[in-house]
Chains A and B, each alone.
Chain A
C-alpha cells in the first residue's frame, strides 16, 4: 500500500470537495426555497473566477502584487462574491421571477438559456484560451505543511479554511438570525410564510445573492488551486455541485457540505486508482464514470440522499 499516494489523494479530495460543497450549498438553498434547479449556477462560478482574475490583474498581477498576498486573495474573493451575488440577483429578477407561476419546465429552459448566454458572453469578451491565476508565482509551492507523508500546499489549506468559514457563517445566518428563520419558513411553505408577513420576494432575492456569492467565491478558489480558468469551466463544477447536493440530500445544508466532500474524495480517489483497479484499461478521465454510478446508485437506493427527507406529495 502506497500511503503517500493515498494521503495526497485524500488531501486533493478534501480540497476539491470543499469547493463542490460551496457550489452544492448555493444550489441546494435555491432548490429548497423555489424548487428550482438553477442550471446556470456553474456558470455563475465561472464568472466569479473571471472577476477574481480581473481583480488580480487590477491589483498588479501575481508577479508583482500591489498589496500583501493575503489581502490580495481576500480582495479577489470579496470582489467575486459581490459581483456574482449581483449577477445572481439579476438572474433571479429577469430569468426566473417572471416564471414563478409557469409550468415547471419553463424556468429550467430559461436557466439553460442563461447558462448559454453567460458562457458565450465570456467567450466573446475574453476568448477561448485558458487564463492563468499564476498562483505558483503568488505563493511558493514549498510553503505549507510537511509532516511525514502529508504534504499540503498552503493554498489548499486556505481554500479549505475559506470554504469552512463560509459554511459556518452561513450556518449561523440560517439558524441564528431573523433572516435565516424567514428563509427556513419560506423553504418549508412559501404561501404560509407569506401569510405570516414574511416578504417572500426579498427572502428569495437574498437567497440568490448568498448562493451566487458562494459560487463566486468557489470560482476564485478553483482558480487558486488549479491556476487556470476558461469560459467552459462552470459546466463541470456546476454538474458536480448538483450531484453533491443530490447525494447529500437536496434542500439540506449539512447534506450539501457532506455530499460535496464525499463527491470530492470519491473523484480524487477514482482519479488516483482507476488505472490500477482496471489494470490500465481505463484512464483517469473515466473518474466521471465512477461519480455517475454513485449518482445512479443513490437514485435507486436512497433518492433522498444522505440527510434529505423523503419527499411527500401534498395535494
Chain B
C-alpha cells in the first residue's frame, strides 16, 4: 500500500467496492460470459471438443498434427497448474517436476530399458496416483507456512529433480530413456499420431469435467474462499492446511497424467524436457488465459503454444510481431482513428529517419533483412538495419546493438510513466520505430531467444495492466 494512496481520503471506496459486481455486469463481455454460463457445462465442453476433434481430419501434415498434440498436452498442464495457482492461490514452482515425474514413472513401467510394458489401464492410473502422493508429501513440510515458502521449496524441488535425473545412473543421465513403449490398451497399441491426438483430447475432456465438478463442489468453494482470505476461511472452520495440500496434490496428479501421455507419444524422455523454461511457459499460459477460468486457461495454452511455434521461423515471426502490434494498438487506442494515425506517423517518421541516416552514415542502413516474408521487402527501405550488427551465430557484434536494445527497454518503460495521453501517443512514434529496428536487426536473427524475452515481458505487463488475463474475473482486494 503506497503512502501516496493513504494521503487521499478514501471516501466512497466502500461503496465503490460494494457496487463492483453491479458495474461488472454492465459490460458487454461479461454479459456474453453470463449468457454462455447459462448453457450446461456438458454442452459447452462438447461445443469446444467436437470442432477440435476435427483437427486431425483437416490438417494433412505430420508437423501440424504434432503441434496439435503438444498443444493439448500444454492444455492439460495448464488445467493442472490452474488448480494450484488459480483456485487455491499457491505458487507452485516445481510444477514441471511433476510432469517430468509422470513421464519418467511411465518410462519405468513401460520401456525396453525397464524391461516391462504395463497395460495403459494400469500404468496411467498408477503413475497419476504416485505423482499425486509425491506432490502431497512435498507439500507437507511447507504446510504451516505462507505461500512464499512453498515457492522456495517447490523451486528447489525442481532443481533437485533435474540434478538427480542428470547425474544418476539409473535414469541414464542427460541421454534420457529413449525407448519408451507406446500406450497399450488390452493388447492394442496406440502408434499413430491421430491416436495420440484423440487420447490426449479425451484426457483433456475428462480432466476439465473433473475439475469443473470439483470446482463447483464444497471443496472448490473452500479453495476459493482460502485464496481470497485464508484467515477468514480458517475462522469459518475450514481445514486450510488440508485444503492446500489437496489442491497441491490435485495439480500434481494432473501434471503426472500429462507426463504419462507425453512420454509414450514422444517415445523418449530427457531431463531437458522439464526445465525452468517449460515452467515459465506454462505459467504464461495460465496467466494469459486468466487464472481460475478453465476455458481461459485452454485458450491461453493454445495462444502461447501457437505463438512459440510461429516464432521458430523468422518469416512467421515477422507476421506475428507486426500483426500483434497492430491489433493491440487498434484494440487499446480510442477513438478509432488514433491507431491508424499513429501507424501512419510511424511510417512517415521512419522514412524520414531512414533517408537522413542513409545520407549521413550509409553503413547504418546497409544490412539485409533475415526474414523471407514479403514484409521484409517493405521494411528494407524503412528500418535502421546496420550491416554486420549481428555475427554468424546471431549475436550482436558491437556495442551498437546492445545499446539499441537497452534503449528500447528503457524507452518503453519510460513511456509507461508519461501521464498525458497526448504526449504518450507522440512518444510512441519513435519507440515503435526503435522497436521495429531492434526487432529486425537483433531479435529476428535469434527467434528462439526473442520468444522467451517476449514471454517474460508479457508476464510482467499482464500482471501490471490486466492481472486477470483474457478471460479471468478481475478481483477487488480489500485491505
Identify the interface centre among A39, A109, A289: most chain B CB within 10 Å of its CB: A109
| B313 close to chain A: CB less than 8 A | no
Nearest-neighbor residue (CB-CB) of A235 within chain B: B276
Q: A107 to B4, alpha carbons, bound, how many Å?
A: 19
Identify the interface centre among B167, B409, B416: most chain A CB within 10 Å of its CB: B167
A101 in contact with B463 (CB, 8 Å): no
| A135 close to chain B: CB less than 8 A | no
Which one of B96-104, B338-346, B449-457 is at the A interface?
B449-457
Q: A236 to B156, alpha carbons, bound, how many Å?
A: 9
Q: A100 to B3, alpha carbons, bound, how many Å?
A: 11
Nearest-neighbor residue (CB-CB) of A116 within chain B: B456
| A2 close to chain B: CB less than 8 A | no
Q: A118 to B323, alpha carbons, bound, how many Å?
A: 25
Nearest-neighbor residue (CB-CB) of A127 within chain B: B395
What is the distance, in angstroms, from A207's C-beta to the closest C-beta of chain B?
Answer: 14
Take A102-B477, A191-B6, A299-B142 as given contacts and tell me if A110 and B464 are in contact as well, using a CB distance cutoff of 8 Å: yes
Q: A233 to B59, alpha carbons, bound, how many Å?
A: 42
Pairs across A and B, CB under 8 Å, 11 listed? A98-B464, A103-B467, A104-B147, A112-B459, A113-B456, A113-B463, A190-B1, A288-B156, A292-B156, A299-B141, A313-B231
A108 in contact with B449 (CB, 8 Å): no
Take A190-B1, A285-B163, A288-B163 as given contacts and tell me if A105 and B89 are in contact as well, using a CB distance cutoff of 8 Å: yes
Q: A25 to B401, alpha carbons, bound, how many Å?
A: 35
A201 in contact with B3 (CB, 8 Å): yes
| A187 close to chain B: CB less than 8 A | no
Tell me the residues in window 213-238 of chain B with beta carbons closer than 8 Å to chain A beta carbons: 227, 231
- Chain A neighbourhood of B142, CB < 8 A: 299
| A286 close to chain B: CB less than 8 A | yes
| B151 close to chain A: CB less than 8 A | yes
| B164 close to chain A: CB less than 8 A | yes
Take A94-B460, A121-B405 as given contacts and tell me if A105 and B1 are in contact as well, using a CB distance cutoff of 8 Å: no
B152 in contact with A289 (CB, 8 Å): no
Q: A31 to B151, alpha carbons, bound, how many Å?
A: 14
Tell me the residues in window 135-157 of chain B with beta carbons closer than 8 Å to chain A beta carbons: 141-142, 144-149, 151-153, 155-157
| A123 close to chain B: CB less than 8 A | yes
Q: A108 to B149, alpha carbons, bound, how many Å?
A: 12
- Chain B neighbourhood of A243, CB < 8 A: 152, 156
A105 in contact with B477 (CB, 8 Å): no
**Cβ 8 A contact of A124, one of B93, B453, B475, B477:** B453
| B172 close to chain A: CB less than 8 A | no
Tell me the residues in window 439-479 of chain B with beta carbons closer than 8 Å to chain A beta carbons: 442-443, 446, 449-450, 452-453, 455-460, 463-464, 467, 475, 477, 479
What is the distance, in angstroms, from A198's C-beta to the closest C-beta of chain B?
Answer: 8
Nearest-neighbor residue (CB-CB) of B4 within chain A: A201
Tell me the residues in window 390-433 of chain B with beta carbons closer than 8 Å to chain A beta carbons: 393, 395-396, 401-402, 405, 409, 413, 416
B160 in contact with A99 (CB, 8 Å): no
Main secondary structure of the interface of B (DSSP, over half): helix
Q: A90-B413, A113-B455, A113-B460 are in contact. List 5 more A-B contacts (CB 8 A).
A: A121-B405, A124-B395, A285-B167, A292-B160, A295-B153
A295 in contact with B413 (CB, 8 Å): no
- Chain A neighbourhood of B1, CB < 8 A: 100-101, 190-191
| A95 close to chain B: CB less than 8 A | yes
| A242 close to chain B: CB less than 8 A | yes
**Cβ 8 A contact of A300, one of B90, B91, B141, B151:** B141
Take A200-B2, A243-B156 as given contacts and tell me if A114 and B452 are in contact as well, using a CB distance cutoff of 8 Å: no
Interface residues, chain A, CB within 8 Å of chain B? Answer: 31, 35, 37, 39, 90, 94-95, 97-110, 112-121, 123-127, 190-191, 194-195, 198-201, 235-236, 239, 242-243, 246, 283, 285-286, 288-289, 291-292, 295-296, 299-300, 303, 311, 313, 315
Q: A201 to B89, alpha carbons, bound, how many Å?
A: 27
B287 in contact with A109 (CB, 8 Å): yes
B147 in contact with A105 (CB, 8 Å): yes
What is the distance, in angstroms, from A87's C-beta to the closest C-beta of chain B?
Answer: 11
B159 in contact with A239 (CB, 8 Å): yes
Identify the interface centre among A105, A107, A199: most chain B CB within 10 Å of its CB: A105
Interface residues, chain B, CB within 8 Å of chain A? Answer: 1-6, 85, 89-91, 93, 141-142, 144-149, 151-153, 155-157, 159-160, 163-164, 166-167, 227, 231, 276, 280, 283, 287, 393, 395-396, 401-402, 405, 409, 413, 416, 442-443, 446, 449-450, 452-453, 455-460, 463-464, 467, 475, 477, 479
**Cβ 8 A contact of A105, one of B85, B163, B393, B449:** B85
Take A94-B416, A239-B156 as given contacts and tell me if A108 and B151 are in contact as well, using a CB distance cutoff of 8 Å: yes
Q: A129 to B144, alpha carbons, bound, how many Å?
A: 42
What is the distance, in angstroms, from B1's C-beta to the closest C-beta of chain A?
Answer: 6
What is the distance, in angstroms, from B93's C-beta to the closest C-beta of chain A?
Answer: 8
- Chain B neighbourhood of A291, CB < 8 A: 156
B463 in contact with A109 (CB, 8 Å): yes
Instruction: Give 7 nearest A-B pairs by CB, closest first.
Output: A113-B459, A117-B456, A116-B456, A110-B463, A113-B460, A299-B141, A194-B3
A101 in contact with B477 (CB, 8 Å): yes
Q: A201 to B459, alpha carbons, bound, how many Å?
A: 24
What is the distance, in angstroms, from B415's C-beta to the closest C-beta of chain A?
Answer: 11
Nearest-neighbor residue (CB-CB) of A300 within chain B: B141
- Chain A neighbourhood of B457, CB < 8 A: 113, 117
B453 in contact with A121 (CB, 8 Å): yes
- Chain B neighbourhood of A126, CB < 8 A: 395
**Cβ 8 A contact of B467, one of A106, A118, A292:** A106
**Cβ 8 A contact of A102, one of B152, B157, B463:** B463
Q: A97 to B416, alpha carbons, bound, how many Å?
A: 13
B146 in contact with A103 (CB, 8 Å): no
**Cβ 8 A contact of A97, one of B2, B157, B280, B405:** B2
- Chain B neighbourhood of A285, CB < 8 A: 163, 166-167
